[in-house]
C-alpha cells in the first residue's frame, strides 16, 4: 500500500528565508503532484512532475522529483507572506490516474 509522508507538517519561517518541504513515498512511482490549499479553499495545482529528475519552477517555488530516492522536494526561495498556505504532495503509484495525498505541510510565513 502506497504511503506518502511529508515533512515538516508545520513550518513557521521569516520572510526572505529559504526552505524546503520534503515528500517521501513508499513505492515506485514517476508521477507526483504538488497542490496548495488556502484556509477554507479548495486545492490549487502547482506542479505536475512526470519523470525522474523533473524540475519545475514558478515564481519563488521550485519542485523536483527523484524517483530512485522516492523523494520530491518543494523549495521556497526568499519567502513572502503570500506563500502562507498548506502544501500537499500527491502520488500516482500505478499510472492509473489515482492519486494518494500526504498529510500536508502547513506553512506560516511571518511578515
CA proximity to 91, closest of 61, 58, 49, 63:
49
- Of 18 and 45, which CB lies nearer to other proteins in the complex structure? 45
Q: Is 81 in the site for other proteins (CB under 8 A)?
A: no
- Of 77 and 93, which CB lies nearer to other proteins in the complex structure? 93
Tell me the pairing of strands 55-58 and 4-7: unpaired
CB of 32 to other proteins, least distance (A): 11
Distances, alpha carbon 57 to alpha carbons 16, 96, 97, 99, 100, in Å = 18, 26, 23, 22, 23
CB of 37 to other proteins, least distance (A): 9
- Of 5 and 15, which CB lies nearer to other proteins in the complex structure? 5
Question: Which of the ranges 14-22, 38-46, 54-62, 74-82 carries the binding residues for other proteins, by CB under 8 A?
Answer: 38-46
d(CA 103, CA 92): 15
CB of 96 to other proteins, least distance (A): 8
**Strand ranges of the sheet holding 55-58, from the earlier edge strand across to the other edge:** 4-7, 19-25, 71-76, 61-66, 55-58
Question: Which of the ranges 12-20, 33-41, 59-67, 69-77 carries the binding residues for other proteins, by CB under 8 A?
Answer: 33-41
Amino acid at each position: 500500500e502506497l504511503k506518502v509522508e511529508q515533512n515538516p507538517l508545520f513550518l513557521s519561517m521569516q520572510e526572505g528565508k529559504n526552505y524546503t518541504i520534503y515528500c517521501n513515498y513508499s513505492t515506485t512511482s514517476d508521477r507526483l503532484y504538488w497542490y496548495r490549499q488556502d484556509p477554507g479553499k479548495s486545492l490549487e495545482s502547482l506542479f505536475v512532475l512526470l519523470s525522474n529528475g523533473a524540475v519545475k519552477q514558478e515564481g519563488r517555488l521550485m519542485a523536483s522529483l527523484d524517483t530512485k530516492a522516492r523523494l520530491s522536494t518543494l523549495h521556497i526561495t526568499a519567502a513572502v507572506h503570500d506563500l502562507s498556505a498548506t502544501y500537499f504532495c500527491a502520488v500516482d503509484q500505478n499510472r492509473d490516474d489515482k492519486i494518494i495525498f500526504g498529510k500536508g505541510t502547513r506553512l506560516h510565513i511571518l511578515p
